[in-house]
Amino acid sequence: MRIVVILAFLGIIGSLASALVYLMRDKGGTNRTVNALTVRIGLSIALFLFVLFAHHMGWIQSTGIIAR
């Protein structure tokens, strides 16, 4: 479970880094920055839905937040 989440985070960070590189190189001339950010959003949504599904299936347990 941790491996899947870590790989998803690495993919999200990699997509964000590539968007930055494309933004600096292309100066807004191409759609590569938009495509990289779209991939990042897709990966973030997929990770969120996967965590919800894993919680529903009982693969992970919520610990709650203790407010004092």
List the chain domain ranges: 1-57
- For 12-28, how does the pLDDT look when each residue is reduced to its tens digit (9 = 90+)? 999 999 999 999 998 87
Confidence of residue 64 (pLDDT cuts 50, 70, 90): confident
Stated pTM of the model: 0.81
- Give the Å distances, CA to CA, from 27 to 8, 11, 41: 28, 24, 21
Q: How far apart are CA 47 and CA 43, in angstroms?
A: 6
Nearest residue to 33 (alpha-carbon basis) of 24, 41, 42, 45: 24
